[in-house]
Amino acid sequence: MGVTAYAMARLGEEAGVPPGVENVLTTSSPGPVTAGMLADPRVRKLSFTGSTGVGRVLLAEAAKTVVSCSMELGGNAPFVVCDDTDLSAALDR
């Protein structure tokens, strides 16, 4: 995750996204932190990009309080297509 998440949060802030709408949190204890966050009734949406194994754990945890989830799991690496991209090459990927 690292620097990209912080850069995206900063861009959101510059674009006028209200404080608290988007949050970046790093931790060395993801299980307990995530469980605590998903148990909070203020959390209504979870978006995750990563491994299928971690996605399964997150979905199970989110199901306990019926938090809406969007997942991009294992092997479906998304990428950004810019105006000057070779569309044929992008479609092949």
Residue 61 contacts by C-beta under 8 Å, 6 or more apart in sequence? Answer: 34, 35, 38
Average pLDDT across the chain, whole number: 86
pLDDT for 19-55, tens place per residue? 888 888 888 888 888 899 899 999 999 988 788 888 9
Instruction: Label residue 79 by pLDDT band (50, 70, 90).
Output: confident
Q: Which two tokens stand for residue 53?
A: 């194994």
pTM of this structure: 0.59
